Amino acid sequence: MDVQLILLAISLILFFGFFAEFIFKKVGVPDVLFLIILGFSLGPFGFKLVDVADLQILAPVFTTFTLLFLLFDGAFNINLSSLLREFSESFKLTLFNFILSSVIVMGVMVLVGLDWLPALLVGFMLGGVSSSFVIPILKQMGVGQRLYSLLTLESALTDVFCIVFSITVLEIIQFGSIGIRQVLTQLVSLFAIAGLVGIISGVIWIILTLKVFKIHNYMITVAYVILIFVLTQFLGGNGAIATLFFGLMLKNSKQLSSITKGLLVTRAADKKKAIAGDLGKSATTHSEEFFYHQLSFFLKTFFFVYIGILFDISDIKALVVGIVLSFLLMGIRVSSLWLTKGMDPQGRGLVNTMFARGLAAAAIAGVALQSGVPGAEFIVKVAYVTITGTIVLSSVKVFLLKKGITFMGNIGKWKDSSD
């Protein structure tokens, strides 16, 4: 392709992404909806300006980096107190939605003719909400810390669940049965290694930034994030979750360093200051965090355009199945509201809107195609239709909620009661 045309396309897509985000803030229509429509118009079923085959080489690298960096950047809106407070609630919400979604999606795929193992693969693939959708939407809405932590952690956990269980099913399809103990061991290993690497890497980077470098180099931090991901994957953990832990360490570096200093003081007044975070120093600056947010905007913009390009309407059966699954997943999300009875109405309403599938499902669909799973082409088509369908439906519900047109009435301010 012509280099100038590629650069022009990048420029125009970024302009489009900026105006789409501006429209979301002013009108309430989520920008991701416009980005998907743009991608579809550029793709093989639109004006045919982009060949899907041209994207296949860079797609795995791009989607992986988008996932890990969105989780890293998303951590900058989570403080330690909200993290500890909301983890158990996030885990309950995650398990309920993931298990119920996986079972129902599997049942539908069996009904349309897939064997039970490929159907189970699709169930796990589409079982969890997408952090690549949830995090940008929450940041644009400016929700409170507790609600942000709850939904961000849920999306991060389900990304891991989707990947781990899907890869396990792929191994069963290729190599035969695998025991439940091995699956559970793999899950614990992924989380434990990711958490350990993320926390240790955070401690090292905080010390280097505050004591050795004494400067904030944004691009070196990005390089370090990539290194953390690669190292964690090499050690058998989940690299994306490790970057989430690393981001949490940087975000809370002032409070953590203050608590550490508090261990060395004896006066009661100094200990109170230490707990409040007054004795510490942050390893990041506001301008640094702004840079990470801008990079996330760049990645998010191109990812959702990419999803639109891959949307396939040539297979009517896959199209119908994907649409049906999209509505079913929306209904499943509504059924989980009993888990959020303690929330205020606007919080429950927002939880109800966050059911879009995205990057993890797209990545697993590509792996399934490369692995030669029976019915892989049909599975990939259904996956992309469902991803697009849930994003569209979730975006519509976000728009309605933001306008206060829900069964719960006007949502009022976008803050939860803890803030």
pLDDT in tens, 91-140: 888 899 999 999 999 999 999 999 999 999 999 999 999 887 888 888 87
Residue 214 is predicted with a pLDDT of 78
At 58-91, the pLDDT tens digits run 877 888 888 788 888 878 877 776 667 777 888 8
Output the furthest CA–CA distance in the chain (Å, rounded): 72
DSSP type of residue 74:
H
Residue 277 is predicted with a pLDDT of 63
- With a pLDDT cut of 70, the percent of the chain lying above it is 89
Class at the top of the CATH hierarchy for domain 3-402? mainly alpha
At 175-203, the pLDDT tens digits run 666 666 776 777 788 789 999 999 999 99
DSSP string, 322-391: HHHHHHHHHHHHHHGGGGGTTS-HHHHHHHHH-----HHHHHHHHHHHHHT-TTHHHHHHHHHHHHHHHH
- The pLDDT confidence band at residue 288, using thresholds 50, 70 and 90, is very high
**What does the pLDDT average to over 316-342?**
91
DSSP type of residue 216:
-
**What does the pLDDT average to over 267-275?**
67
At 293-314, the pLDDT tens digits run 899 889 888 988 988 898 888 8
At 331-380, the pLDDT tens digits run 999 888 788 777 788 888 899 999 999 878 887 887 888 778 889 999 99
b/e 174-200 (16+ beta carbons within 10 angstroms → b): eeeeeeeeebeebbeebbebbbebbee
Among 336, 366, 350, 404, CA closest to 128: 336
Residue 226 is predicted with a pLDDT of 96
C-alpha torsion sign, points 155, 160, 166, 169: negative
pLDDT averaged over every residue in the chain? 84
pLDDT at 416 over 60: no
Contact 199, 251 (CB under 8 A): no
Contact 30, 300 (CB under 8 A): no
Q: Where do the H-state alpha helices sit in 142-252?
A: 145-175, 180-207, 218-234, 239-251
Residue 409 is predicted with a pLDDT of 39
Using CA atoms, how far residue 85 sits from 82, 90, 93, 397, in Å, is 5, 10, 14, 27
Residue 275 is predicted with a pLDDT of 63
Q: Which of 3-17, 35-49, 217-231, 339-353 has the lowest mean pLDDT?
A: 339-353
What gap in Å lies between CA 45 and CA 314, rounded to an integer? 8
- With a pLDDT cut of 90, the percent of the chain lying above it is 34
pLDDT at 394 over 50: yes
